[in-house]
Chains A and B, each alone.
Chain A
Amino acid sequence: MVQAIRSAMDVMLERDDNVVVFGEDVGYFGGVFRCTEGLQAKYGTSRVFDTPISEGGIVGIAVGMGAYGLRPVAEIQFADYFYPAYDQLVSEAARLRYRSAGDFWAPIVVRMPTGGGIYGGQTHSQSPEALFTHVSGLKTVVPSNPQDAKGLLISAIEDDDPVVFLEPKRLYNGPFDGHHDKPIVPWSKHPLGEVADGYYKVPLSKAKIFRAGAELTVLAYGTMVFVAEAAAVEAGIDAEIIDLLTLWPLDLDTIVESVKKTGRCVIVHEATRTSGFGAELMSLVQEHCFYHLEAPIERVTGWDTPYPHALEWDYFPGPARVGDAMKRATSA
């Protein structure tokens, strides 16, 4: 997935002189996760460059550059580091078009690795997507595989609104299904690891049926798509898994159609539970599918605690917990 994300930036740097890429350690070194490796050598230091350790500054300059007419792609080294930049994103990038009635806008992409499972402790493991979906004017994207990641990132860069692009870091090297005690399958052995060369887009605000099924609908994104798949297989449940891909603006039609068909719904995310994005999904399913529901909607999430370092597998909503929820939902 790292190569797919790099390829998206490579393609866009090549196609559009206005695309610039920057962040901490992204230049000469190529990023701590190697997503920008080789790009500075190819496109020069004025288009791919290192920044000071200053997330507020990184997003602040992105807003100014976007207003100038560039298409900045800013990397925040870990989503956990994003918070100093929240004001620049929420008060500035997200509202610039609105407050100026279209006089100015900031077509920026802010990429950041999200989620846990790498023994990163509470400062390298968080999933803050709900802090972005709550903000009017932002688009929030979470890819789950290399094919979609590349096409979605290209769409995000070409989009004229600010896009938060959350990259599940546990998926960088392969389709991790939550079984942390088993060896990781590399993307090269998974069909979704096949990434076409060159330019292609995967549309924003369009979910995909990741696995078709009749018994139950699972709403998931990022790492949890593969966790849900493993859980369904292990629990022997014919679950339809929807990979949301873009959290907001949401593809509600795909969700509603599936839940109306199955009558049962399990929502899965790694982020903390309370006021998490799952709460919004739950409300929407309730509002739109109430008369089709056969069972209470289930939510499987990280616990409402900080991400505990040594205990992360007790925190992580793995296949066993997801499978239990599926069983509850199908037996009710």
Chain B
Amino acid sequence: MGKNEPPRLTLQVPEPPTRPGDKPDFSYLKLAPAGSVDRPPVHASAAQMHDYAYSLVRVLDDAGNAVGPWAPQVDAELLRNGLRAMMKTRVFDTRMQLAQRQKKASFYMQCLGEEALGVAQGLALGADDMFFPSYRQQGYLIVREMPLVDMMCQILSNSKDSLKGRQLPVMYSARKLGFFSLSGNLGTQFIQAVGWAMASAIKGDSRIASGWIGDGSTAEGDFHYALTFAAVYQAPVILNVVNNQWAISSFQSIAGGAETTFAARGVGYGVPALRVDGNDFLAVYAASLWAIERARSNLGPTLIEWITYRAAAHSTSDDPSKYRPAEDWTSFPLGDPVQRLKQHLIRIGAWSDEEHARTQSALEEEVKAAQKTAESFGTLATGPLPSPSTMFEDVYKEIPEHLRQQRQQAGL
């Protein structure tokens, strides 16, 4: 090899800081103390917002105090409602996970550790807005009081499944609650949220949209489309990135999270961005309100990266003990959203350990009773399932001739 030849190139493939058997290490997370980030006016320009994409908005400190300029003026009843909804979501997840293990459902996805996101934003958005979910915001439906039995019938794919057994469990659709049909494809709905928001602006309405995507799926083209169109048309939309550190077994660095933040993606598009503690119910609520006010005031889109941790497996088909330390979540520096809000409510005298325990028992009873009712309408294992003749409906608004014939051929 000649003296002046360049060195041989090597390919970098990012690795998470820790693997099974290692001591958890979250030193890569750029954190900031609660209350240390100021709250810019909602009309701040993208240029003025630059630094917020690299900082971390937090309200609750380690002792459970709500501190700093982002602490929302909110009454305790809303927070208690939020806590109950997060607890209920967790109880619901636990039971549905178990139901899947008992083969009553084909599949399940828990949102353990991420409950604050769907619940707090579900409280912050208006009744006429539209939420374009990814698959871990069931807290939104719970806090908006979708009947548990209806949710369960969808999961069990039974005779009362409102989606007629067509969708995997948790791929809900709830138009009346402002919850868009969950696709199951990743990322596709991010740009649809922008289109929905543009439609509201075209009509001169006051409704806004909220699109959701995971850290992993930001690598899809749809993310780029959404940021581009949202910026170009100043669409009234909130673009939420749930950075829960893991996309199945891929650490967030595989999606491009090592060298910068996901919030910083907004900087390049000229979209104001926030990076927020996603396990801090008050911060999630406050940042959502900020972005909602911007959108509602015709000031355009906001990108929010929520820092959280996917505490459970990706789905019932996944085993995280194969790729990350078992005690990772309990070492996560942003803690557990339920415990943190509980601590805060106790601190302000609006909750107690006794009330918490009572609430927990009551929720377990409520969910159990709902499950009993839901299972009386069938499970995937035992039936009854939705009628097979419905398989040919809703492909088109009217059933065309070829599908009538196929239905006949199928003997239905």
What is the CB-to-nearest-CB distance from B141 to chain A, in angstroms, rounded to a whole number? 13
Interface readout for A23-65 with B: 1 if CB under 8 Å, 0 if not? Answer: 0000000000000000000000011000110101100111111
In the complex, whether B166 has a CB less than 8 A from a CB of chain A is yes
Most buried by A among B200, B225, B401: B225
**A101-B163 contact, Cβ under 8 Å, with A64-B193, A69-B199, A92-B183:** yes
Contact call A88/B191, Cβ cutoff below 8 A? yes
List the one stretch of B51-59, B169-177, B253-261 in contact with chain A: B169-177
Interface readout for A245-276 with B: 1 if CB under 8 Å, 0 if not? Answer: 00001101000000000000000000000000
Contact call B194/A64, Cβ cutoff below 8 A? yes
Q: Can you name the residue of chain B whose Cβ is closest to the Cβ of A44?
A: B202
Q: A100: which B residues are within 8 A, CB to CB?
A: 163, 173, 175, 181
In the complex, whether A298 has a CB less than 8 A from a CB of chain B is no
Q: Tell me, in angstroms, the Cα distance from A104 to B177 when the chains sit together.
A: 13
Q: Tell me, in angstroms, the Cα distance from A97 to B116 when the chains sit together.
A: 30
B225-241: which have CB < 8 Å to A? 225-226, 228-229, 232
What is the CB-to-nearest-CB distance from B178 to chain A, in angstroms, rounded to a whole number? 12
Contact call A56/B225, Cβ cutoff below 8 A? yes
Q: Tell me, in angstroms, the Cα distance from A61 to B130 when the chains sit together.
A: 14
B158-210: which have CB < 8 Å to A? 162-164, 166-167, 171, 173-175, 180-181, 183-185, 188-189, 191-203, 209
In the complex, whether A240 has a CB less than 8 A from a CB of chain B is no
What is the CB-to-nearest-CB distance from A130 to chain B, in angstroms, rounded to a whole number? 16
Interface range, A side: 35 or more
**A161-B183 contact, Cβ under 8 Å, with A64-B191, A64-B197, A99-B163:** no
Q: Tell me, in angstroms, the Cα distance from A87 to B181 when the chains sit together.
A: 16
What is the CB-to-nearest-CB distance from A102 to chain B, in angstroms, rounded to a whole number? 5
In the complex, whether A202 has a CB less than 8 A from a CB of chain B is no
A119-165: which have CB < 8 Å to B? 136-137, 139, 160-161
Contact call B196/A64, Cβ cutoff below 8 A? yes
Q: B203: which A residues are within 8 A, CB to CB?
A: 17, 68, 70
In the complex, whether A105 has a CB less than 8 A from a CB of chain B is yes
Q: B185: which A residues are within 8 A, CB to CB?
A: 87, 91-92
Q: Tell me, in angstroms, the Cα distance from A60 to B163 when the chains sit together.
A: 23
In the complex, whether B400 has a CB less than 8 A from a CB of chain A is yes
Q: B394: which A residues are within 8 A, CB to CB?
A: 97-98, 101-102
Contact call B164/A54, Cβ cutoff below 8 A? no
Q: A104: which B residues are within 8 A, CB to CB?
A: 173, 175, 180-181
Q: B232: which A residues are within 8 A, CB to CB?
A: 52
In the complex, whether A228 has a CB less than 8 A from a CB of chain B is no
Q: Can you name the residue of chain B whose Cβ is closest to the Cβ of A98?
A: B394
Q: Can you name the residue of chain B whose Cβ is closest to the Cβ of A96?
A: B181
What is the CB-to-nearest-CB distance from B213 to chain A, in angstroms, rounded to a whole number? 13
Contact call A99/B173, Cβ cutoff below 8 A? yes
Q: Tell me, in angstroms, the Cα distance from A47 to B203 when the chains sit together.
A: 9
What is the CB-to-nearest-CB distance from B82 to chain A, in angstroms, rounded to a whole number? 26
Q: Can you name the residue of chain A whose Cβ is closest to the Cβ of B205?
A: A68
Interface readout for A213-253 with B: 1 if CB under 8 Å, 0 if not? Answer: 00000000000000000000000000000000000011010
What is the CB-to-nearest-CB distance from B264 to chain A, in angstroms, rounded to a whole number? 21
Interface SS, B side? helix
A97-117: which have CB < 8 Å to B? 97-105
Which one of A56, A65, A98, A250 contacts B196 once the chains associate, using CB atoms below 8 Å?
A: A65
Q: B226: which A residues are within 8 A, CB to CB?
A: 57, 60
Q: A91: which B residues are within 8 A, CB to CB?
A: 183, 185, 188
Q: Tell me, in angstroms, the Cα distance from A101 to B150 when the chains sit together.
A: 14
In the complex, whether B221 has a CB less than 8 A from a CB of chain A is yes
Which one of B180, B228, B395 contacts A136 once the chains associate, using CB atoms below 8 Å?
A: B395
What is the CB-to-nearest-CB distance from B130 to chain A, in angstroms, rounded to a whole number? 8
Which one of A47, A54, A64 contacts B195 once the chains associate, using CB atoms below 8 Å?
A: A64
Q: A54: which B residues are within 8 A, CB to CB?
A: 225, 228-229
Contact call A67/B191, Cβ cutoff below 8 A? no
Q: Tell me, in angstroms, the Cα distance from A52 to B171 when the chains sit together.
A: 31
In the complex, whether A286 has a CB less than 8 A from a CB of chain B is no
In the complex, whether A205 has a CB less than 8 A from a CB of chain B is yes
Contact call B397/A161, Cβ cutoff below 8 A? yes
Q: Can you name the residue of chain B whose Cβ is closest to the Cβ of A93?
A: B192
Q: A250: which B residues are within 8 A, CB to CB?
A: 402
In the complex, whether B222 has a CB less than 8 A from a CB of chain A is yes
Q: Tell me, in angstroms, the Cα distance from A50 to B249 when the chains sit together.
A: 40
In the complex, whether B396 has a CB less than 8 A from a CB of chain A is yes
Q: B400: which A residues are within 8 A, CB to CB?
A: 205, 249
Q: B194: which A residues are within 8 A, CB to CB?
A: 60-61, 64
In the complex, whether A186 has a CB less than 8 A from a CB of chain B is no
What is the CB-to-nearest-CB distance from A56 to chain B, in angstroms, rounded to a whole number? 5
Q: B228: which A residues are within 8 A, CB to CB?
A: 52, 54, 57
Contact call A65/B222, Cβ cutoff below 8 A? no
Q: Can you name the residue of chain A whose Cβ is closest to the Cβ of B399?
A: A249
Q: A17: which B residues are within 8 A, CB to CB?
A: 203
Most buried by A among B184, B199, B201: B199
Q: A52: which B residues are within 8 A, CB to CB?
A: 228-229, 232
What is the CB-to-nearest-CB distance from B388 to chain A, in angstroms, rounded to a whole number? 14
Q: B396: which A residues are within 8 A, CB to CB?
A: 97, 137, 139, 161, 249
B348-385: which have CB < 8 Å to A? none
Contact call B199/A68, Cβ cutoff below 8 A? yes
Most buried by A among B167, B191, B395, B401: B191
What is the CB-to-nearest-CB distance from A127 to chain B, in angstroms, rounded to a whole number? 22
Q: B192: which A residues are within 8 A, CB to CB?
A: 60-61, 63-64, 67, 92
Q: Tell me, in angstroms, the Cα distance from A51 to B166 when the chains sit together.
A: 34
Q: Tell me, in angstroms, the Cα distance from A51 to B228 when the chains sit together.
A: 10
Q: Tell me, in angstroms, the Cα distance from A92 to B222 when the chains sit together.
A: 12
Query: 11 interchain pairs (CB within 8 A)?
Result: A47-B202, A57-B225, A61-B229, A64-B194, A68-B203, A84-B221, A99-B181, A100-B173, A101-B162, A139-B396, A160-B397
Chain B residues within CB distance 8 Å of chain A: 130, 132, 162-164, 166-167, 171, 173-175, 180-181, 183-185, 188-189, 191-203, 209, 221-222, 225-226, 228-229, 232, 394-397, 400-402
Chain A residues within CB distance 8 Å of chain B: 17, 20, 46-47, 51-52, 54, 56-57, 60-65, 67-70, 72, 84, 87-88, 91-92, 96-105, 136-137, 139, 160-161, 205, 249-250, 252
6 extra A-B contacts, CB within 8 A, seeds A56-B221, A57-B228: A57-B191, A57-B225, A60-B192, A97-B397, A100-B175, A250-B402
Would you list the 10 A-B pairs with minimal beta carbon distance, nearest first? A64-B195, A61-B195, A60-B191, A57-B225, A68-B199, A100-B181, A64-B192, A64-B196, A100-B173, A249-B400
